[in-house]
């Protein structure tokens, strides 16, 4: 028994070492990618052989290949982790408490984000001085707007297998939540099915580890190609829009999240954000909340001390329904386009923007660029021309990187609050106090989750300390 725990301790330490190495490489790839991309932008003529072979050939294939690898994992990973998560905390009371609080916090943080973005945009006046009404109408047929009613109805899949095969995240989550809760309620009668899902979850996590090993190469190629194409000059005309959005994102990060972490999670916000930096860097370079799910869960579990039962439930859910950064972009975009087209917005329009941007955030998939597509729904609700979106699309990638970083941080902040409220936060791990007991406790929690041990969360109080962070 002792040797088993020693072995598991060694494996954990090895895993932690490998993990630190990986995040370091991701950062190196990010910085190198920016530098090389800018150099290429100034030295390599667009359309030249070098451009075609290296930037649009090798970088494109490796970058997109990496994104596809991550996307390949997402539907089965999210499905399994939500089934296992809901089954693990699905004993009525606990799911209600964890799920209810999580969803309410996700919605409130998004609504706060849009309101703040609207206020910031009023000060920055991003669209003043730009006359978009003179622009020829642009084909925006690819940006289909969805009505609010349809957005809500679309959560329910008409065919669960279709939802899985097409990767409709909200529908997958909806079905997985019901399945998980029912598995929990049926208890031992369905132990084989439960074991199947937890073992499948374990297989998926191993696949994630494998794919993450090539992350630095993927990140480098994605970033260099983005900067090689856009360069620095490309963003100048849209600087106010981009700057306004980034100001909103910075406010959300440095004020809203800091206060939430201090007051509700009772954690040192600076330490928390420091631990989140690799996750933010990863989200920044992939522009995909979905792709960041594995790293986010891993960080919250191993570095912040959140019980995996909580993180594996709240993070996939957050990656799908909680998009604070996207909502901020949409708030600034509304003011930008309204000013550029000279369309005045009244209090009613602003209320509509807050409501629809919050709903749009719920319906936005955690993959690159979808937030801008969902903008059509917000524009439509307040009578802004969809043509405005084409302007924003020009700089979408630059904005998408920042907003995705905030999206995933918002998920993590809410997860920390929910974990604290449910006595599922190990502050020793958060404070880097490494004891054998901590390592063992984490391993036990992870093993319990993987084996579908459905004990109520309150059982964790014996293994997880819940002291106030000093
Ligand atoms: N790229 C964002 C995300 O994955 C979604 C978006 O705003 O386009 O979170």
At residue 464, the pLDDT reads: 40
Asked whether residue 134 carries a pLDDT value surpassing 60, the answer given is: no
Q: What does each C-alpha distance from 8 to 151, 212, 441, 448 come to in angstroms?
A: 46, 21, 11, 14
Angle, alpha carbons 366-41-215 (nearest 5°) = 40
Rounded percentage of the chain residues whose pLDDT exceeds 90? 24
Instruction: Report the separation in Å between the CA atom of 403 and the middle of ligand 1, taken as the mean of its atom positions.
Output: 7
Q: What does each C-alpha distance from 394 to 333, 338, 375, 391, 399 come to in angstroms?
A: 13, 18, 14, 6, 10
Is the Cβ atom of 287 under 6 angstroms away from ligand 1? yes
Take atom 3 of ligand 1 and give the residue whose Cα is closest. Answer: 366
Is the Cβ atom of 296 under 6 angstroms away from ligand 1? no
Q: Is residue 366 part of a domain?
A: yes
Contact 208, 288 (CB under 8 A): no
At residue 370, the pLDDT reads: 73
Mean pLDDT of 406-428: 92
At residue 465, the pLDDT reads: 43
Is the Cβ atom of 445 under 6 angstroms away from ligand 1? no
Domain count, the chain: 1
At residue 94, the pLDDT reads: 62
| Residues contacting 94, CB < 8 A, separation 6+ | 422, 456, 457
End-to-end CA distance of the chain: 36
Q: Which domain holds residue 277?
A: 38-469
Q: Is 468 helix (H, G, I), strand (E, B) or coil?
A: coil
Each residue's pLDDT tens digit, 40-72: 988 988 888 888 898 889 998 998 888 778 778
| Residues contacting 347, CB < 8 A, separation 6+ | none
Is the Cβ atom of 356 under 6 angstroms away from ligand 1? no
Q: Which atom of ligand 1 is nearest to the CA of 291?
A: 4
At residue 172, the pLDDT reads: 82
DSSP string over 155-187: TS-S-HHHHHHHT-HHHHHHHHHHHHHHHHHHG
Q: Is residue 81 part of a domain?
A: yes
Nearest-10 Cα torsion for 218, 224, 229, 235: 110
Mutate which of 109, 292, 363, 370 for ligand 1? The one with the most ligand atoms within 8 Å of its CB, which is: 370
The CATH number for 412's domain is 1.10.3860
- Considering 207-216, 248-257, 310-319, 431-440, the range whose residues carry the highest mean pLDDT is 248-257
In this predicted model, which residue has the larger pLDDT, 459 or 74?
A: 74
- 40/27 Cα distance (integer angstroms): 20
In this predicted model, which residue has the larger pLDDT, 328 or 462?
A: 328
Each residue's pLDDT tens digit, 141-174: 444 455 667 767 878 999 999 988 887 767 887 8
At residue 343, the pLDDT reads: 86
Is the Cβ atom of 326 under 6 angstroms away from ligand 1? yes
Q: Which atom of ligand 1 is nearest to the CA of 368?
A: 1
Q: Is residue 9 part of a domain?
A: no
- 348/358 Cα distance (integer angstroms): 16
Mutate which of 368, 375, 389, 392 for ligand 1? The one with the most ligand atoms within 8 Å of its CB, which is: 368
Buried b vs exposed e over 323-358: b needs ≥16 C-beta within 10 Å? bbbbbbbbbbbbbbbbbbbebebeeebbebbbebbb
Is the Cβ atom of 366 under 6 angstroms away from ligand 1? yes
Q: Is residue 413 part of a domain?
A: yes
- 315/82 Cα distance (integer angstroms): 9
Contact 293, 201 (CB under 8 A): no
Q: Token pair 């999240």 is at which residue?
A: 257
Q: Is residue 3 part of a domain?
A: no
Q: Which atom of ligand 1 is nearest to the CA of 396?
A: 8
Is the Cβ atom of 370 under 6 angstroms away from ligand 1? yes
- 111/127 Cα distance (integer angstroms): 23
In this predicted model, which residue has the larger pLDDT, 80 or 388?
A: 80
Is the Cβ atom of 304 under 6 angstroms away from ligand 1? no
Q: Is residue 58 part of a domain?
A: yes
Name the band, by pLDDT with cuts 50, 70 and 90, for residue 234.
Answer: very low
Mean pLDDT of 178-195: 89
Instruction: Report the separation in Å between the CA atom of 252 and the middle of ligand 1, taken as the mean of its atom positions.
Output: 16
Q: Token pair 């499948």 is at which residue?
A: 200
At residue 440, the pLDDT reads: 66
- 86/182 Cα distance (integer angstroms): 9
Each residue's pLDDT tens digit, 250-308: 999 999 999 999 999 899 999 999 999 999 998 998 888 988 998 899 899 989 999 88
Is the Cβ atom of 442 under 6 angstroms away from ligand 1? no
In this predicted model, which residue has the larger pLDDT, 372 or 108?
A: 108
At residue 443, the pLDDT reads: 65
In this predicted model, which residue has the larger pLDDT, 21 or 180?
A: 180
In this predicted model, which residue has the larger pLDDT, 96 or 417?
A: 417
For residue 306, the cross-strand partners are 425
Asked whether residue 208 carries a pLDDT value surpassing 80, the answer given is: no
- 468/268 Cα distance (integer angstroms): 10
In this predicted model, which residue has the larger pLDDT, 235 or 86?
A: 86
At residue 260, the pLDDT reads: 94
At residue 131, the pLDDT reads: 62
- Considering 134-143, 218-227, 308-317, 427-436, the range whose residues carry the highest mean pLDDT is 308-317
Q: What is the mean pLDDT of the chain?
A: 78
Is the Cβ atom of 324 under 6 angstroms away from ligand 1? no
Least confident of 277-291, 349-363, 374-388, 420-434: 374-388
Contact 416, 425 (CB under 8 A): yes
At residue 92, the pLDDT reads: 60
At residue 379, the pLDDT reads: 83
At residue 111, the pLDDT reads: 93
Asked whether residue 212 carries a pLDDT value surpassing 80, the answer given is: no
Contact 84, 198 (CB under 8 A): yes
| Residues contacting 245, CB < 8 A, separation 6+ | 117, 328, 329, 332, 333, 399, 402, 403
Q: Which atom of ligand 1 is nearest to the CA of 404?
A: 9
Q: Which atom of ligand 1 is nearest to the CA of 370?
A: 8
Is the Cβ atom of 368 under 6 angstroms away from ligand 1? yes
Q: Which atom of ligand 1 is nearest to the CA of 326?
A: 7
| Residues contacting 131, CB < 8 A, separation 6+ | 340, 342
Mutate which of 398, 399, 404, 410 for ligand 1? The one with the most ligand atoms within 8 Å of its CB, which is: 404
Mean pLDDT of 203-225: 81
Q: Is residue 20 part of a domain?
A: no
In this predicted model, which residue has the larger pLDDT, 174 or 93?
A: 174
Q: Which atom of ligand 1 is nearest to the CA of 287?
A: 1
**Token couple for 26:** 């991701």
Asked whether residue 135 carries a pLDDT value surpassing 80, the answer given is: no
Q: Is residue 14 part of a domain?
A: no
- Considering 154-163, 201-210, 226-235, 451-460, the range whose residues carry the highest mean pLDDT is 154-163
Q: Which atom of ligand 1 is nearest to the CA of 329?
A: 7
């Amino acid at each position: 028994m002792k040797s088993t725990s020693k072995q598991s301790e060694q494996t954990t330490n090895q895993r932690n070492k490998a993990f630190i190495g990986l995040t370091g490489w991701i950062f190196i790839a990010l910085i190198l990618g920016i530098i090389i991309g800018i150099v290429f932008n100034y030295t390599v003529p667009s359309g030249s052989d070098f451009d075609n072979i290296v930037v649009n050939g090798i970088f494109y294939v490796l970058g997109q290949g990496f994104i596809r690898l991550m996307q390949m994992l997402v539907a089965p990973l999210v499905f399994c982790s939500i089934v296992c998560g809901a089954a693990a905390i699905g004993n009525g009371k606990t799911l209600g408490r964890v799920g209810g609080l999580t969803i309410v916090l996700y919605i409130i943080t998004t609504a706060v984000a849009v309101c703040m973005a609207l206020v910031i945009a009023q000060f920055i006046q991003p669209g003043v001085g730009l006359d978009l009404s003179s622009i020829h109408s642009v084909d925006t047929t690819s940006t289909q707007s969805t009505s609010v009613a349809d957005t809500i109805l679309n959560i329910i899949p008409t065919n669960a297998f279709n939802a899985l095969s097409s990767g409709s995240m909200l529908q997958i989550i909806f079905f997985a939540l019901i399945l998980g809760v029912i598995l929990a309620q049926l208890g031992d009668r369905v132990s084989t099915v439960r074991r199947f899902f937890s073992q499948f979850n374990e297989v998926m996590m191993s696949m994630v580890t494998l794919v993450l090993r090539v992350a630095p190469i993927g990140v480098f190629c994605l970033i260099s190609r983005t900067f090689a194409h856009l360069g620095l000059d490309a963003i100048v005309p849209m600087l106010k829009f981009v700057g306004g959005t980034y100001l909103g994102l910075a406010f959300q990060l440095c004020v809203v999240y800091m206060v939430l972490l201090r007051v509700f999670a009772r954690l040192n916000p600076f330490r928390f954000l420091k631990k989140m930096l690799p996750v933010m860097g990863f989200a920044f370079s992939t522009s995909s909340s979905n792709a960041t799910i594995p790293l986010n869960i891993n960080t919250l579990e191993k570095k912040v001390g959140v019980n995996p039962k909580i993180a594996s439930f709240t993070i996939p859910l957050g990656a799908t329904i909680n998009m604070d950064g996207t909502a901020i972009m949409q708030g600034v975009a509304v003011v930008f386009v309204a000013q550029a087209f000279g369309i005045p917005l009244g209090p009613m329009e602003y209320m509509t923007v807050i409501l629809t941007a919050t709903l749009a955030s719920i319906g936005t998939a955690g993959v690159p660029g979808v937030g801008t597509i969902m903008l059509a729904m917000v524009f439509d609700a307040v009578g802004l021309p969809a043509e405005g979106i084409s302007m924003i699309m020009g700089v979408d990638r630059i904005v998408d990187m920042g907003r995705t970083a905030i999206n995933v941080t918002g998920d993590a902040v809410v997860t920390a609050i929910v974990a604290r409220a449910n006595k599922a936060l190990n502050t020793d791990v958060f404070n880097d106090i490494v004891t054998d007991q901590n390592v063992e406790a984490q391993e036990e929690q992870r093993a319990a989750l993987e084996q579908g041990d459905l004990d109520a969360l309150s059982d964790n109080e014996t293994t997880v300390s819940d002291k106030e962070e000093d």
